[in-house]
Amino acid sequence: MTPKIEQKPGRKPRVTDEEILQLFKDADPPVLTASALADELPIGHRALLNRLNTLWDRETLDRMDVGPRGRVWWLPGHTSTTAASITESGPDAEGRGEQ
């Protein structure tokens, strides 16, 4: 078990875009929620959502809404699935509906 690093009060440590993107590269499957990312990074949930939206605006990440409040994120080109293919065919079309 990794010991917790005690942080001083004040501004949280900065997280680079590359650190965020590396989590997608290392993930299996490489489709993540903001909550899953927030568990791995020293950054608040709201700040992380802002960063993810900025990466999406720059077309560095892709995203899709799932359910009324859910959203998943992924690196374009790192999955065989696109938001359009899921939306058009449904999650069960390629066997992804099983849990």
Task: Identify the CATH class of 17-89.
Answer: mainly alpha
> What is the domain partition of the chain in residue ranges?
17-89
Rounded Cα–Cα distance for residues 53 and 59 (Å): 10
Report pTM: 0.67
From the number of C-beta atoms within 10 Å of its C-beta (0-12, 13-18, 19+), residue 7 rates as exposed
Could you list the pLDDT tens digit for every one of the 99 residues in the chain?
444 444 556 565 589 999 999 999 999 999 999 999 999 999 999 999 999 999 999 999 999 999 999 999 999 987 655 555 545 444 443 333 333
Strands (E), 33-87: 62-66, 70-74
Is-contact 94 81, C-beta < 8 A? yes
Please, which residues bridge with residue 4 across strands? none
Distance of alpha carbon 10 from alpha carbon 34, whole angstroms: 23
